[in-house]
Homo-oligomer: A and B are copies of this chain.
Amino acid sequence: MPRSLNIAVIPGDGIGKEVVAQGLKVLTSVLPQDVKLETTEYDLGAQRWHRTGETLPDAELEALKGHDAILLGAIGDPSVPSGVLERGLLLKLRFAFDHYVNLRPSKLFPNTSTPLAGRPEIDFVVVREGTEGPYTGNGGSLRTGTPAEVATEVSLNTAYGVERVVRDAYERANARPRKKLTLVHKNNVLVYAGHLWKNIFDRVGQEYPEVTTDYLHVDAATIFFVTQPERFDVIVTDNLFGDILTDLAAAVTGGIGLAASGNINPTGAFPSMFEPVHGSAPDIAGTGKADPTATILSVALLLRHLGFDAEAARIEEAASADLAERDGSFRTTDEIGDALAVRVAD
């Protein structure tokens, strides 16, 4: 276990600031006294953009590299044109720091509500590729705004990029009791990318004889997410399919207020970044209605990534216990954060 922790904090927009405050509260509370915690806040997001036109200046990008990890709240505001902050800040970070494993666990905790009848057992993790696919920004528009406009989006997929994330997913599946890995793609239509994924998935699988494998088209996968989510253990998939599937997974496991994620660079070459799956929710910003649990669970992922396994587990147990005791009465963002900070300190 490291003796110090140097975290970059990007609260971002809307409820981002509120939930990040709770994440830091719980982080402070869970860490052993003798671990030195340093945090540096970075002012990035909609306000900064309005003020200076900057999304992520080189100096900040450089400075961020010096941290052990990044905790991010949420990015985005209706006052900023769609895509500016997503591409210029959030995705820029994921790409610049080569976050090729976008890790998104989904678990239906006891007592949390799900839109699914029958409360199936849900406990899977999606390993979403984070640096390729349709997210590369490769594309363009010709004769923009005219009746003759043509707009393209290019999904880029490399053996290099696919193999490393597939390998990571096999490792994770192999370390779990059920040892099952499902590849999700659409290889009957996206034949070039699909065959690349499927071939690498099959080849790497030979090195993991204990892992049971499975392939599903993305459309079929959404069906099983609602009819048979218990069939999933680890899922590996491309950037866009992973985006879609993990929101659906969050919805069936108690909502986006509980879904944590890690943008991980497993090599350690750059800091990994942890964030709730939800967005900045400007409609409830400032009302105290945001559930900080997703951010707090993202802090657990951060801690595990940095070798604080026991502390990560304490947070997860605390969140689970807190959820189990919820009785439906309203608690503010702050109150939930306080409750979890107390629990993890025990």
Which residues of A line the B interface, CB within 8 A?
76, 82-83, 86-87, 91, 114-118, 134-135, 137, 139-141, 143-160, 163, 186-196, 198-199, 218-220, 222-223, 225-227, 240, 243-244, 246-248, 250-252, 255-256
Contact = CB atoms under 8 A, between A and B. Distances in A.
30 contacts: A82-B191, A82-B194, A82-B198, A83-B194, A86-B188, A115-B118, A115-B226, A117-B117, A134-B190, A135-B189, A139-B192, A141-B192, A141-B195, A145-B199, A146-B159, A147-B159, A149-B196, A151-B157, A152-B154, A152-B156, A152-B157, A154-B154, A186-B240, A189-B240, A189-B243, A218-B243, A219-B244, A222-B247, A222-B251, A227-B251
Nearest to A134: B190
B151 A196 contact: yes
B145 A150 contact: no
The dominant DSSP class at the A interface is: mixed
B192 A151 contact: yes
A248 B227 contact: no
A45 B146 CA distance: 41
A115 to B, nearest CB: 5
A333 to B, nearest CB: 20
B195 A151 contact: yes
Contacts of A150: 156-159
B190 A139 contact: yes
Contacts of A134: 134, 153, 155, 189-190
What 5 pairs between A and B have smallest CB-CB spacing?
A219-B247, A149-B159, A83-B191, A222-B248, A153-B155
